Structure 1
Amino acid sequence: MKAVTALFEAIKKNAWKQTRKEVFCVHNKLLALLFAVMFLMMLGFGIIIPILPFFAEQIGAGSWEIGILFASYNIMQFLFSPLWGSLSDRIGRKPLIMAGLFGFTVTFVLFGLSDTYGEMLVYRILGGIVSAAAIPTVTAMVADVFPPEERAKGMGVIGAGVGLSFVFGPVIGGLLGDVNVSYPFFAAAGVAFLTMLFVAAMLPESLPPERRGQRGEKERLNPLVAMSGPLALLYNLLFIVSFSFAALEATFALYIGHRFGMTAKDLGYMFLVMGVIAALVQGGLIGQMVKKWGEPPVLSLGLAFYAAGFLLILVGQGFWSLSLFLSLFGAGQGMIRATATSLITRRTNQAQGVTSGAMSSMDSLGRILGPLVGGALFSWHYSAPYIAGALLVGAMLLLFLLHNRNLPEPEATKSR
C-alpha cells in the first residue's frame, strides 16, 4: 500500500527529477493498477449483457419492457453522473468508487433474485445510479494524477480495460447462463465485491484534502450547459459517437439475421473480434500515435474509421467481411474516446470529477436515444441506421477538422 501511495505522490507532486527510466516505471505501475480496477469493475457488466434479455423474457417481459430495462439504466447514469462527479471533487475519488462497487454487489444480487418485472426495473434503476458513482470517477482519477502530455495514454489504457471486460464477460455470462439464468448476476456481484476489496487494499486517494472543493460554484455543471460551452464541439462529438453506435448495437442482430440468416452466436463472435481490436488499439497504440501525431489527428482518424465502418457494413457479404468492418468501430472507438477525453480534461475550467460526470452523461444520453432512433429507422429500411450513422459521424469529422483550432488552450499548469 505504501509503495502504491508513493507512486501517486510522485505524479501529483510533479516529481520529474527522476530519470526517464524511473518515470516510465512509475507510469507503467500506475497504468497497470488503474487498468485492473476498470477491467474488474466492468467485467460484471460484460457478464450480464448477453443474459439480461433472456432472464427478463423468462418472467414474461416483452421486447418493449426489455428496452425499458436498458433505457432506465442509461437514464439514471445521465442524470446522476454529474452529481456524483461533483461530490467526488468535494470528498475524494476513492469513497465514490467504493460506494459504487458496493452498490453493484447489492443490485446484481437482487436482480438475480427477482421474480417480477417490477423488481427487475427497480434494481436496474438503482444499478444505473450507483454505476454513475464509480465508472466516471476512475476517469477523474486518471486526470488527477497524469500530466497533460501523458493523459491520452492513461485514458487509452483504462479504455482497454473496458474493452477486454466486454470480450471475456459475455463468454463467462453465456457459460453460466446455460446452467441457470440467475448465475451470471451472482457472478457479477462476486466480481464487484472482490473489486471493492481490491480497491480498499490497493488504490490510494488521488485527490488530497487541500485540493478538494476548490472550484466552488463552477462545480455545478449541467451536462446540457456543457454542450453549449467552449468545449461543446467535443461533448457533442462524444454524444454523436455514442448515439450512432448504440443505434448499430440495437439493430445489427436484426440486420445480419434479416440479410444473412446469422444467429446470436455469430454476433457474439463478431463483437469478440471487435473487442480484442479495440483493446489492442487503446492499450498499445494510442500513446504512441498521440506522441507522434498529436491528439486531434488521432481523433480525426478514429472518426474516419467510424464513418467508413457504417458504410462498409452495407456492402459486407459474410461473417469475415462483417467482422472486419466491425473492427473499424473497435479501432475507431479506442482512438476517439481516449483522445476526446484527454482533450476535454486538459481544457476544462471545471473540476475533473464534474467534467468526467458530464462526459459520462453525454455517453449515456447517446445510449438512451440511439436504440430508439435506430429501431425506428430500421423499421423503415434496414440500411437507414447505418447511412444515418455515417452521415452524422462524417458531419462531426468535418466540424472537428474545421473548428478544433478554436478549442480553449490546454490548462497544463492548472492543479487538479
Structure 2
Amino acid sequence: MKRKEKLNRIFLILLSLFVVMLGYGILLPTLPYYTERLALKDNLDSDLINFHIGLLTSIYPLFQLLFVVVWGKLSDKYGRKPIIICGLVGFIIMQLLTGFSTSLTMLYVARIFGGIFTSSIIPVSNAYLSDITLAKRRTKIMAWSGVAISSGVIFGPVIGGFLSQTPLHLEYSIGVLHLDRFSVPFLFSAMLGLVVLIIISKFLRNNVHIQKFTTKKIRSRFLLSKYFIVLLLLSFVMQFVVTLFETVFSIYGKDELSFNSKQVGIGFMLCGSVMAILQPVFATYGEKIMSSKQQIALGLLVTGGSLIAFPFFNNGIYVYAMIVIFAIGGALVTPNLLSAVSLISKKNTGRNISIQSSTNSVGQILGPILGVWLISGGGYYPFVVAGIIVLATMGLVLPLLKLNYKT
C-alpha cells in the first residue's frame, strides 16, 4: 500500500472516531440539566434525577457490551468498512432521537439504540488501523486514535454548551417529537455524522480479512492467558474510573461547586485537550525514557492520586488543575493498553479489540452506577473510592505485567 493511500485511510478512520466522540462530548456537560428538565416535565420525583442520570449513562455502554463482540466478528468476516457505516447510521439516528426527545422514555430509547450501533465504530475502527499498521508503529497509531477520541471530547462540550444557549426562539412539535433550542447541538451532530457517512461510503476502501471466517471456539489457552487478563483488568479499571468521574463531575459541579453547564464543559474540554496533546507525545517519545509497562504503572499512580486529591479542592482553578493531572495519567495508560491488545494476535485483531471494548463497557456500566450511589453519601466519596481502586489495582497487576503473551 502506498504511503499516500495509507494516510488517506488513517485520516478517514480518525475522522469517523472524532465525529462519534464529538456527539458523545456534546451530551456530557448537558446530561444532568437535560435529564432534570425532562424529569420535571414528566412530573417525576426530583430525588430520582441523579438516579436517572446514572442509569442513562450506564445503559448506553450496557448495550455496547451486548453487541460489540458481534460487530467485531462481523468485521472479521465481511471487512471493517460496512460495519463502520452501520455504526455511523446508528449514530445519526441516535442524535436525532436525542434532539427531538420530549420525555425520559424517548431519551432512554435513543441511548439504547445508539449503544447497539455505535458499539461497532471505535473497536472496528481501531482494528482497521491495526490492520494497515506495522507492529512497531502500533502504539503511535493507537495514540492518534486516542487523539481523535479526545478531540471529540474537547470540542463536544464546547459546541453543546454554545449551541444549547443560542438565542433561537424556535419551538415546533411533530407528533411525539419536539424541536427547541436544546435540540440544536444534537441536530448539528447528526448532520455532521451524515457528512462523514457520505465521505466514508465513497472514499474508504474495505479492509477484508484474507483468512476464512470460522465459528470454532476460542482456545482456552487464549482465554486463560494471564497477560491478556491483566490487560483486560487494567482496561476495565481505567474505563470504570473515567466514566465514574465523567458522571459524578457533572453532578458534583452542578450541586457542590455551583458550576453551570459551560463551566462543567470547560472541565471536560481540559481533560480532552490534555489527552489529545499528550497521547501522541508519550507514544512517540515515552519509550525512550521508560517502557510501555512502566508508563502504564506511572499513569495508574497519577490517576489514582489525582482522584483522591480531587474533592479537597473547591476553587475553580485548582479543580481544573486536578482534572489536568487526572488526564495526564489517562494519557500514559490508554494508548499503551490498546497497543498491547492489538499485538496479541495478528489473525483475530478485530475480535481481540472487541473483547477489550466489551471489558471497557462493563466498566462504563458500573462506574456511573457506583458513582451516583456514592455521591448520595457525600460529594467526596466517589473520587476517593475510585482513586483507591486504581492504586490497589496497580499493586495487584504490576507483578503480572512481567509476563509475556505467547501465541
Where on the TM-score scale, by shorter chain, does this alignment land: which range? Answer: 0.7 to 0.9
The within-5 A match list for 1:148-227 is 148-179=135-166, 180-208=181-209, 210-213=210-213, 216-218=215-217
For 1:118, the equivalent position in structure 2 comes to 105
The within-5 A match list for 1:51-70 is 51-59=30-38, 60=41, 63=49, 64-70=51-57
Give every structure 1 segment of 4 or more consecutive aligned residues whose post-TM-superposition deviation is greater than 6 Å. none
Structure 1, 270-279 or 86-95: larger mean CA deviation: 270-279
> Does the C-alpha gap of structure 1 residues 252 and 113 become closer, same or farther in structure 2, counting only changes over 3 Å?
closer
For 2:362, the equivalent position in structure 1 comes to 365
2:395 aligned to 394, 398, 410, which one?
398
Amino acid at match of 1:211: Q
Structure 1 position 98 matched with structure 2 position 85: yes
Q: Could you tell me whether the CA contact under 8 Å between 2:157 and 2:268 is conserved in 1? A: no
> Does the C-alpha gap of structure 1 residues 123 and 316 become closer, same or farther in structure 2, counting only changes over 3 Å?
closer
Q: Could you tell me whether the CA contact under 8 Å between 2:130 and 2:349 is conserved in 1? A: yes
The 2-side partners of 1:46 and 1:260 are apart by 21
Q: CA RMSD in A?
A: 2.6
The total of aligned residue pairs comes to: 384
> Does the C-alpha gap of structure 1 residues 280 and 320 become closer, same or farther in structure 2, counting only changes over 3 Å?
same
Q: What is the percentage of aligned positions where both structures have the same residue?
A: 27
2:27 aligned to 48, 68, 72, which one?
48
User: Normalized against structure 1, the TM-score is what?
Assistant: 0.84
Structure 1 position 107 matched with structure 2 position 107: no
Gaps of at least 5 residues in structure 1 are 1-5, 11-24, 412-416
The 1-side partners of 2:245 and 2:258 are apart by 18
The within-5 A match list for 1:282-361 is 282-290=279-287, 292-348=289-345, 351-361=348-358
Give the secondary-structure state (helix, strand or coil) at the position aligned to 2:119.
Answer: helix
For 2:172, the equivalent position in structure 1 comes to none
Q: Could you tell me whether the CA contact under 8 Å between 1:277 and 1:327 is conserved in 2? A: yes
> Does the C-alpha gap of structure 1 residues 257 and 173 become closer, same or farther in structure 2, counting only changes over 3 Å?
closer
Structure 1 position 77 matched with structure 2 position 46: no
Structure 1, 166-175 or 64-73: larger mean CA deviation: 64-73
For 2:178, the equivalent position in structure 1 comes to none
For 1:3, the equivalent position in structure 2 comes to none
User: What's the offset of the Cα at 1:72?
Assistant: 1.7
1:182-232 CA-partner distances (Å, limit 9, x unpaired): 122211111111111121233222334x2352x5424699xxx95886511
The within-5 A match list for 1:225-264 is 230-256=227-253, 260-264=257-261
1:132 aligned to 119, 128, 145, which one?
119
> Does the C-alpha gap of structure 1 residues 318 and 333 become closer, same or farther in structure 2, counting only changes over 3 Å?
same
Give the secondary-structure state (helix, strand or coil) at the position aligned to 2:206.
Answer: coil
Amino acid at match of 1:340: L
User: What's the offset of the Cα at 1:88?
Assistant: 0.6
2:14 aligned to 35, 59, 68, which one?
35
Structure 1, 241-250 or 71-80: larger mean CA deviation: 241-250
1:393-413 CA-partner distances (Å, limit 9, x unpaired): 11222233211112314x6xx
> Does the C-alpha gap of structure 1 residues 268 and 94 become closer, same or farther in structure 2, counting only changes over 3 Å?
same
Amino acid at match of 1:337: T
The 1-side partners of 2:290 and 2:297 are apart by 11
1:113-154 CA-partner distances (Å, limit 9, x unpaired): 333333332222111100012221101112212122111111
1:356-390 CA-partner distances (Å, limit 9, x unpaired): 21111111111111111122222233322222222
The 2-side partners of 1:120 and 1:261 are apart by 25
User: Normalized against structure 2, the TM-score is what?
Assistant: 0.86
Gaps of at least 5 residues in structure 2 are 167-180
Structure 1, 240-249 or 263-272: larger mean CA deviation: 263-272
> Does the C-alpha gap of structure 1 residues 143 and 212 become closer, same or farther in structure 2, counting only changes over 3 Å?
farther
Give the secondary-structure state (helix, strand or coil) at the position aligned to 1:181.
Answer: helix
Give the secondary-structure state (helix, strand or coil) at the position aligned to 1:231.
Answer: helix
Structure 1, 112-121 or 144-153: larger mean CA deviation: 112-121
> Does the C-alpha gap of structure 1 residues 329 and 226 become closer, same or farther in structure 2, counting only changes over 3 Å?
farther
User: What's the offset of the Cα at 1:350?
Assistant: 6.5
